Amino acid sequence: MSKEMAVSADDEKWRVERDGSTLIDAQEVRGDAKRLKKALAHLAQRRDDAAKAFSLESKTKTRMKESFSEKGDS
């Protein structure tokens, strides 16, 4: 999926520990229906926020491109 970058042994150790903790946390969340529901709602909100930000960024780029092309046409 992504290209592996060279990392130091300390960084690799930290990543392994973090990944292990993440997997443990995920199991705990999956085992608690209320916690899982809240986490999924949070992710849905973040997804919606990211989509809005992406849309705004696209519109901004389009407007900038149009503004500069209009100035160049004069």
Instruction: Kindly list the distances between the CA atom of residue 12 and the CA atoms of 6, 15, 20, 49, in Å, as whole numbers in the listed order.
Output: 9, 5, 12, 32
Tokens representing residue 20 in the block: 């292990």
Contacts of 29 (CB under 8 A, 6+ apart): 35, 36, 39
Local confidence pLDDT in tens for the 74 residues of the chain: 556 678 899 999 999 999 999 999 999 999 999 999 999 999 999 999 999 999 999 889 888 888 888 665 55
**Where are the domains positioned within the chain?**
27-73
Is the pTM for the entire model greater than 0.75? no
- H-only helix segments in the chain: 9-30, 33-73
Tokens representing residue 53 in the block: 């930000």
In the three-class reduction of DSSP (H, G, I as helix; E, B as strand; rest coil), residue 41 is classed as helix
